[in-house]
Amino acid sequence: MKVKSDQSITILTIQEVASFLRVHRTTVTRYAMTGELKSYVLGNRRLFKKEDVLAFFENRIDRAALEYVSERSNYGDSHYSEA
């Protein structure tokens, strides 16, 4: 992998990702094992690129926003529909 001199890749451990996302280490491991959060296994260690963690976070925010809008529209439809 080529890295431009003006770019740096930050590698994080499971504990660092857990602290960053404010979740338990087990949650980070589950996200990694299911493929939701991209990770790299090096020996017996699971490592993460910070850019992948940020992309995962943005994806979760987008998904939560879509679910919120969907729930609100479903509530509005059922709440105002005639019986």
Indicate the domain borders of the chain. Answer: 11-80
**By the 8 A CB rule, do 18 and 27 touch?**
yes
At residue 18, the pLDDT reads: 98
* Polymer length of the chain: 83
Domain 11-80 maps to which CATH number in 3.30.70, 1.10.1660, 3.40.50, 1.10.8? 1.10.1660
Distant-in-sequence, close-in-space partners of 27: CB < 8 Å, separation ≥ 6 = 18, 21
If the chain, 83 residues long, is cut into consecutive pieces of 10 residues, what is the mean pLDDT of each piece?
A: 68 98 97 97 97 95 81 63 49
At residue 83, the pLDDT reads: 47
At residue 5, the pLDDT reads: 55
